[in-house]
Amino acid sequence: MKKIRFNSIGNKLGLIIMILFLCILVPLGYVINQLFTGFYYNQTHQFIDDVSLDLVNSISNMDNQNEMKIYEELANHTKTEIVIVNKDGTVLTSSKLYKKGTNFDSELLSEIQKKNKIHKTYVHAETKEYYFLSGRSIELNEKKQGGAFVFASLDSIHDSIHKVKNYLILSIVVALLLAAGFTYFVSRKLSKPLIDMEIVTRKIAKGDLNINIKKISNDEIGSLAQAINDLAIELKDYRTNRSEFLANISHELRTPISYLSGYASVLRKKLYDSDQEKEDYLSIIENEASRLTLLINDLFELSKMEERKIELYKEWVDIEELIEGVMGKAKLRADIGNVTIKYEPQKNMKMILSDGMRLEQILINLIENAIRYTDYGEILIKSRVIKDKIIISIKDTGIGIPSNDLPFIFERFFRVEKSRSREMGGTGLGLAIVKELVNVLGGAIEVKSEVGIGTEFIICLPIET
């Protein structure tokens, strides 16, 4: 049985939406009730005022019984109580409040004679019922002859208002029920993708990377789903690369460590026939130790660059001078391999604001790599300026790189001809370091190659960063 989570995002969304509905409907219902109540009260006040005015204007004879009878019928028709009194306070019409011939309320009569018109809430002395009262004095022949009073029962008004309130409450309840249904649908609709994402991310955390979330929308939730899918792909690639890296580093370390261990054991046990053989073994140990040190340094350098922890010391660098200096350092190794290095700079080459030491490291790696894979050939270096960029190309006439290997040459430990590459030396990290350094300096690098013809590396760097 699935456990109900009261703190789930679906329930939270539902609660928030219901609170919003309540915050809207309750004040709206209150305002509508107040508006309707005020409107109804105002309409009632206005109505009995109009009736009382019409009565005063229509009375022509206080002793006309037929006329008084008409006013009693008018009271029934308008659902009000109409009371007409003479100047002595005797009631001339019959109503629920005052019978014909009885004495009218002396206070109201006195007030009407003083003010000519009154408008107030009235409580009947006997029934204790509440009424709206509108009274006016009656003047015949410019003399006050009595008064006309119109009573509207507040109980009937309240009954009507209560009915409206009931309808209003019913409407709010129905609206809340509809809102609850809508809220349930919307909260489930919104929360389901998030719940699915939670399940998927927990699977990712446990190592299951062969998963994919279906993107159902193009909004932020859809973007989040795509981001999780991308994360799974990146983690999968990272895991694959990590496994390959560990396998490669283990392989690269195994050879020099085996040499060191083996020849050290031979020397310790004195299993050599001559001093020359001993010197050969010591030389092998020294070379393998140097190779191991170089490998560790390259790994450390590459790690710093990938984490952007490398420090740059920028200065204005003369590209021609820098390239000529690198050529001087590589000349001895090039002469040994019968390789000629040429440099063709563009006229009026600009200086570049960059880290000269890192630029030299890039060029040395590329030139030594070209020498390593070129037999009895030529390496041509060119430099030119295009707008705000400096382009440096290093082209050799070496063995070339197969087209299917080109996308991978900047990966760590990747070798095109693995057996020959190992014989020629190097750690397999040179081009990976070159690419990371170029990226750190804000540039880009590309490679063109054809088997049997040669390889060209093209570096593009900003003049000023």
SS3 41: helix
Please indicate, yes or no, if residue 46 is contained in any of the structural domains. Answer: yes
Give the CATH number for residue 150: 3.30.450.20
Residues 330, 289 share a domain: no
**Percent of the chain residues past pLDDT 70, beyond the cut:** 87
Give the CATH number for residue 401: 3.30.565.10
Chain centre distance of CA 191: 15
Residues 359, 238 share a domain: no
Helical spans, DSSP H, in 59-153: 65-78, 106-115
What is the distance between the alpha carbons of residues 260 and 295, in angstroms, rounded to a whole number? 15
Query: Minimal CA–CA distance to 354: which of 459, 460, 445, 465?
Result: 465
What is the distance between the alpha carbons of residues 114 and 112, in angstroms, rounded to a whole number? 5
| Angle between helices 220-268 and 275-306 in degrees, nearest 10 | 170
Question: Global pTM?
Answer: 0.49
What is the distance between the alpha carbons of residues 397 and 379, in angstroms, rounded to a whole number? 7
Q: What pLDDT score does 447 carry?
A: 93
Please indicate, yes or no, if residue 171 is contained in any of the structural domains. Answer: no
Residues 346, 442 share a domain: yes
Count of structural domains, the chain: 3
Please indicate, yes or no, if residue 200 is contained in any of the structural domains. Answer: no
Contact 121, 154 (CB under 8 A): yes
Residues 95, 143 share a domain: yes
Domain termination residue (choose one: 159, 177, 204): 159
β-sheet bridge partners, residue 392: 383, 459
Q: Give the residue ranges of the chain where pLDDT is below 50.
A: 1-4, 419-424
Task: Give the position of tokens 């219902």.
Answer: 29
Distance between first and last Cα of the chain: 62
Domain termination residue (choose one: 106, 130, 159): 159
Please indicate, yes or no, if residue 351 is contained in any of the structural domains. Answer: yes
Residues 33, 152 share a domain: yes
Contact 271, 263 (CB under 8 A): no
Residues 155, 73 share a domain: yes
Domain termination residue (choose one: 116, 134, 159): 159
Task: Give the position of tokens 């994919």.
Answer: 212
Please indicate, yes or no, if residue 292 is contained in any of the structural domains. Answer: yes
Residues 440, 347 share a domain: yes
SS3 348: coil
Please indicate, yes or no, if residue 165 is contained in any of the structural domains. Answer: no
SS3 384: strand
Residues 450, 332 share a domain: yes
Contact 146, 62 (CB under 8 A): yes
Please indicate, yes or no, if residue 6 is contained in any of the structural domains. Answer: no
Q: Which domain holds residue 412?
A: 315-462
- Residue 102 gets which letter from DSSP? S
Please indicate, yes or no, if residue 302 is contained in any of the structural domains. Answer: yes
Residues 289, 244 share a domain: yes
Residues 406, 355 share a domain: yes
Beta-carbon neighbour count of residue 106 at 10 Å? 9
Q: What pLDDT score does 4 carry?
A: 46
Amino acid identity of residue 284, one-letter, is: I
Give the CATH number for residue 237: 1.10.287.130
Residues 99, 30 share a domain: yes
pLDDT tens per residue across span 393-427: 999 998 888 888 888 888 777 766 554 444 445 55
Residues 362, 278 share a domain: no
- Hey, which bits of 106-258 come out as E strands? 117-123, 130-140, 143-153
By 3-state DSSP, what share of the chain in percent is helix, strand and coil, each rounded to 5? 55, 20, 25
Please count the CA atoms within 13 angstroms of the CA of 159 that sit on its side-chain side.
6
